[in-house]
């Protein structure tokens, strides 16, 4: 079974401030927007490039300029995040998640992977500093650096988890996340979804998932 974990609101809780500031700093540096915080963009469940594009378009930057700067934006956002990120994020681990990952890793046939809107290098720094990078192998996952649209990420993660160019089967794949966008990306790829209410959304908002749980510890039972 391939398990595609979201990061913010799922593996880590309330650890996104440095990340948000890094995105804003990168927008400022690359696009010379004086105050990116003026835009009102709902970021939960979105990819980093999607968030940047939404902020920029809202503040009057043209699509052409957004496209021209996007490669540089991704580079600078990682640089800004590395500089800002606190050395130890372990206090932000969702309670019980390390035990859950430990147990899942030991189950035969389980592959731990990621589907996150984070740029990959930001995701890797975040998980390493939270002490759970070891659970998520170097070649796996689907990230905001792969596509701006979260719905495109589960097929990318399945392809990377497959072998000889054959994607990991969708019937053996589960997305685990905390927002309606996590559920939507699972549906778009025809895979199952377990939602967790440790992020900004409540049970009613997540009722389209195959199962909804209220803590990391309950994930094992749902799976
Ligand atoms: Mg999330």
Q: How many domains does the chain have?
A: 2
Q: Are 45 and 179 in contact (CB under 8 A)?
A: yes
Check pLDDT > 80 for residue 141.
yes
Residue 164 has which token pair? 């000889």
Q: Tell me the C-alpha distance between 212 and 208, whole Å.
A: 9
CA of 40 to the centre of ligand 1 (A): 18
Helices (H) and strands (E) in the chain, counts: 8, 5
Residues 120 and 102 both lie in one domain: yes
| Same-domain check for residues 68 and 158 | no
Instruction: Give the pLDDT mean for 38-44.
Output: 91
* 109 and 27, same domain (yes or no): no
The residue from 65, 84, 103 where one domain ends is 84
Same domain, 74 and 154: no
Residue 213: which domain range? 2-13+88-222
The pLDDT-based confidence of 138 (bands split at 50, 70, 90) is: confident
- What's 51's domain CATH number? 1.10.150
Distance 26 CA to ligand 1 centre (A): 21
* 42 and 98 belong to one structural domain: no
pLDDT at 202: 97
Say if residue 95 is in the same domain as residue 135. Answer: yes
Interatomic CA distance for residues 114 and 177, integer angstroms: 10
Give the mean model confidence (pLDDT) for residues 19-24: 96
Alpha carbons 104 and 97: distance in angstroms, whole number: 10
What is the mean pLDDT of the segment spanning 179-189? 98
- pTM to 2 decimal places: 0.96
Q: What is the pLDDT of residue 203?
A: 96
Mean pLDDT score, 32-49: 93
Ligand 1 center to 164 CA (angstroms):
31
Distance 176 CA to ligand 1 centre (A): 9
- Cα(135) to ligand 1 centroid in Å equals 18
The one-character DSSP state at 93 is: B
Looking up residue 188, the CATH number of its domain turns out to be 3.40.50.1000
Write out the residues surrounding ion ligand 1, Cβ under 5 A: 6, 8-9, 178
Are 100 and 118 found together in one domain?
yes
**Are 135 and 68 in a shared domain?**
no
Tell me what the mean pLDDT of segment 98-123 comes to: 96
Q: Is the pLDDT of residue 99 over 90?
A: yes
Residue after which a domain boundary falls, among 34, 50, 84: 84
Distance from the alpha carbon of residue 96 to the mean position of ligand 1, in angstroms: 17
The residue among 84, 105, 129 that closes a domain is 84
Alpha-helical regions (H) of the chain: 17-31, 48-58, 63-84, 97-106, 120-130, 153-161, 180-189, 219-222
What 126-130 contacts at long range (C-beta under 8 Å, 24+ apart), as own/partner pairs, is: 126/7, 126/12, 126/15, 126/19, 126/85, 126/89, 127/7, 127/11, 129/85, 129/86, 129/87, 129/88, 129/89, 129/90, 130/11, 130/12, 130/15, 130/89, 130/90, 130/92, 130/93
Rounded Cα distance, 162 and 156, in Å = 10
96 and 201 assigned to the same domain: yes
The reply to whether 202 and 105 lie within a common domain is: yes
**Alpha carbon distance 177, 196 (integer Å):** 6
Secondary structure (3-state) at 212: strand
Task: State how beta strands 211-213 and 192-196 pair.
Answer: parallel
Let me know whether 123 and 38 are in one domain.
no
> Based on the domain organization, do 131 and 168 belong to the same domain?
yes
């Amino acid at each position: 079974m391939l398990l595609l974990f979201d990061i913010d609101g799922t593996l880590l809780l309330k650890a996104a401030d440095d990340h948000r500031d890094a995105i804003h700093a990168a927008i400022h540096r690359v696009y010379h927007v004086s105050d990116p915080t003026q835009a009102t963009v709902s970021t939960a469940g979105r990819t980093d490039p999607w968030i940047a594009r939404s902020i920029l378009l809202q503040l009057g930057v043209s699509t052409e300029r957004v496209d021209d700067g996007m490669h540089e934006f991704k580079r600078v956002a990682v640089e800004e995040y590395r500089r800002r990120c606190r050395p130890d994020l372990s206090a932000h681990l969702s309670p019980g998640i390390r035990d859950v990952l430990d147990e899942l890793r030991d189950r035969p046939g389980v592959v731990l992977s990621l589907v996150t809107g984070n740029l990959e290098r930001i995701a890797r720094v975040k998980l390493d500093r939270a002490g759970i990078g070891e659970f998520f192998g170097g070649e796996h996952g689907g990230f905001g650096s792969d596509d701006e649209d979260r719905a495109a990420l589960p097929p990318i993660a399945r392809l990377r988890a497959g072998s000889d160019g054959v994607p990991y089967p969708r019937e053996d794949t589960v997305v685990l996340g905390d927002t309606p966008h996590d559920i939507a990306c699972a549906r778009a790829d025809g895979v199952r979804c377990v939602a967790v209410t440790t992020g900004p959304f409540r049970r009613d908002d997540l009722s389209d998932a195959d199962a909804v749980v209220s803590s990391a510890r309950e994930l094992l039972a749902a799976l």
